[in-house]
Amino acid sequence: MSGINTFTWIAIFAIGAMVVNSLGIWVIYKNKAWAEKNKEYSICFAAGVLISSPLIMAFPQAIGHNPKAGLAALTGFIFMFFSNKLIKYKTKQTELAFGITALEGIGIHSLIDGVIYCVTFSVSIFTGVLAGIGLVVHEFAEGVITFSVLIKGGLSEKKAIFYAFLVAALTTPLGAFIAYPLVKKLNNSALGLALGFVVGVLIYISASHLLPEAREHEKEHSYLAFLSGIALSLFIMFSKQ
**Within a domain: residue 73?**
yes
pLDDT the model gives residue 2: 47
Note down the domain range covering 214: 6-235
Q: What is the per-residue pLDDT across 61-77, written as a single tens digit (0 to 9) for each? A: 889 989 999 999 999 89
Band of pLDDT at residue 1, cut at 50, 70 and 90: very low
Q: What pLDDT score does 91 carry?
A: 59
131-159 pLDDT tens trace: 888 788 778 877 877 787 677 667 788 88
Q: How far is CA 60 from CA 112, 127, 185, 192, in A?
A: 21, 11, 22, 10
Query: Is 114 inside a domain boundary?
Result: yes
Question: 50 lies in a domain?
Answer: yes
Q: Specify the amino acid at residue 31.
A: N
**For residue 54, pLDDT beyond 90:** no
| 84-124 tens-digit pLDDT | 777 667 656 544 444 555 566 567 667 878 888 998 898 88
**Chain segment 4-47, per-residue pLDDT in tens:** 688 999 999 999 999 998 998 898 888 877 766 777 777 788 78
In a domain, 240, yes or no: no
pLDDT at 173: 93
Q: How far is CA 144 from CA 25, 141, 147, in A?
A: 5, 5, 5
As a whole number of Å, the CA-based R_g of the chain is: 17
Structural domain contains residue 229: yes
Alpha helices in the chain (DSSP H): 6-30, 32-53, 59-65, 69-90, 95-123, 125-152, 157-164, 171-184, 188-204, 211-216, 222-240
Share of the chain above pLDDT 70, in %: 83
| Structural domain total, the chain | 1
> Does the pLDDT value for residue 179 go beyond 50?
yes
The DSSP result for 173-231, as a single string, is HHHHHHHHHHHHT--HHHHHHHHHHHHHHHHHIIIIIIHHHHHHT--TTHHHHHHHHHH
Residue type, 124: S
According to the model, what pLDDT value does residue 210 have? 72
Q: What is the pTM of this model?
A: 0.69
Per-residue confidence (pLDDT) for residue 16, from 0 to 100: 93
